[in-house]
Structure 1
Amino acid sequence: MNSILEPGMIVRHPGQPDWGLGQVQSRVGDRITVNFEHQGKVVIDGRVISLQPVWSGEAEA
């Protein structure tokens, strides 16, 4: 699922729901940099973590 991520997309970290929503800053290979609202900037190893895209309308839920 990480292969569809592009800068600007909104995601959730499945193992860290308290981090809130995150905006993808960049994706280079398996390295995904995300700026989370309650955690700040985090570099994710896409081989280990599959981020969950948030589609329009889901963010309010």
Structure 2
Amino acid sequence: MLHVIAVCQIRDGGRGQGYYLRKIAEGKTPAEARRALKRRLSNVVYWIMKRDQRNHLAQAA
């Protein structure tokens, strides 16, 4: 799923595309830049899941 999100962000513009283009400008290959974007996306998903878990635990208490 992260691959699909990354490809859509690269194609459609926005922050994902800007990040990808910055990595290309740093000398990364397109595959390396795409991998870096996927890693960034996975970090965002992880932190959202952590936040949701904290909120759920706080509501349960």
Bigger strand fraction: 1
Structure 1 and Structure 2 fold alike (TM over 0.5):
no
- Give me the TM-score of the superposition, normalised by structure 2: 0.28
The structure with the larger Rg is: 2
